[in-house]
Amino acid sequence: MLLITSPRFEEHVTPPGHPERMERAHVFDAAAARWIEKGGRTAPPRSATREELARVHDVAYLDQMEAIAGRAAMLDADTFTSPESQEIALMAAGAATQAADHAVDHHEAAFALVRPPGHHAERDRAMGFCLYNNVAVAAAHALARGLDRVAIVDFDVHHGNGTQWIFYEEPRVLYVSSHQFPFYPGTGAADEVGRAAGAGFTFNVPLEAGATDADFRLVYRDAVFPVLDRFAPQLVLVSAGFDAHERDPLAGMRLTTPAFGAMAMELRRVAERCCDGRLAAVTEGGYDVRALADSLRAVIAVLGAETSTDPQWPEGTVEPTRGRTSVNVAKTLLGKYWKFQ
Ligand SMILES: [Zn+2]
């Protein structure tokens, strides 16, 4: 596995008290240091080019972002820039693209530890702490390289509205998201399945607050992995948010640290089944720094292991909440989904 990150990710500064804060970059630094100590490989990010960004963002939006480079700005109610933000956000999108290239070229995992996150950023606007849609830039880059089937799996606790809309009519990109629902940003209902040629290539798994490790395991095993296997991606991209963690201050899910490791192993195995291990993950949210550090450690251990093993889901006492999740909705949707294939 290749880890792509930079100490410079702390230079995107948000207002005091903002959850998406520079300390998250220090967690990335510590994770990278530990990975290097173990003999792991890292690479510094390159900046995404305007051409790469323009595949998923409007030119007018890119102009707007260039115009605010070097100064602080408020882009929406909770999205801010500091003087360095434009430069750092280009590195975040570039790192995601590099991770995709590494996975495609070397048939192994790559993990980009970046901020700001990306999955709320839409074609024409910044939103929800996100400036450029890092994972979307990476997916569009993979298509530009000639791939025909790219899957994006987004386990951040929030729905990735930006990623969904960018690829809503695109059959070459399967977007799968599990998220707390109803919740910010309001999108991600089970009946949002894509449009026109993209119908059936958006797969939302809305879960109620309080979902546990067992719920996630159930819903991924019963619904998400069958859909991924059927799609047979040539590259698996992961929007790796850690805010479904039980300690996260923004959301109400109850995932434990080992569950993130198990999820990473499941996805690694999907990539091994479908595309010889081509998996590229990029960080999204995760706002309890200790939970973020612990979860990154678990995921890096799994993606960085020499060989894959059976996913180690925590065998806890907590049963799936069933009625409180949308497992049944997901199963119903699964039937609907197959119609498009
Ligand atoms: Zn999030």
Contact (CB, 8 A) for 35 and 3: yes
pLDDT digits (tens, 9 = 90+) for 254-271: 999 999 999 999 999 999
156 alpha carbon – ligand 1 mean position (Å):
5
Q: What is the pLDDT of residues 132-165, one digit of tens each?
A: 999 999 999 999 999 999 999 999 999 999 999 9
Distance 286 CA to ligand 1 centre (A): 7
First-residue to last-residue Cα distance in the chain: 33
Q: What is the mean pLDDT of residues 284-303?
A: 98
pLDDT computed for residue 322 by the predictor: 53
> Which residues make beta-bridge pairs with 204?
177
Output the average pLDDT for the chain. Answer: 94
**Catalytic positions, written as ranges:** 120
Residue-wise pLDDT for 63-114, tens only, equals 999 999 999 999 999 999 999 999 999 999 999 999 999 999 999 999 999 9
Contacts of 128 (CB under 8 A, 6+ apart): 76, 78, 79, 120, 121, 158, 184, 185
Which among 29, 65, 40 is positioned nearest to 283, based on CA atoms? 29
Task: Tell me the CA–centroid distance for residue 271 and ligand 1, in Å.
Answer: 24
241 pLDDT above the threshold of 50: yes
**CA–CA distances in Å: residue 12 to residues 7, 113, 122, 221:** 11, 14, 19, 37
- Location of structure tokens 């970046």: 114
Average pLDDT, stretch 191-219?
90
Could you list which residues have their CB under 5 Å from ion ligand 1? 156, 158, 241, 243, 285
Strands, E assignment, 272-335: 279-283
Ligand 1 centre and the CA of 171: distance in Å?
25
* CA 158 to ligand 1 centroid distance, Å: 4
Q: How far is the CA of 119 from the centre of ligand 1 (A)?
A: 8
Ligand 1 center to 103 CA (angstroms)? 24
Minimum mean pLDDT range among 20-24, 31-35, 166-170, 218-222: 218-222
Res 219: pLDDT: 87
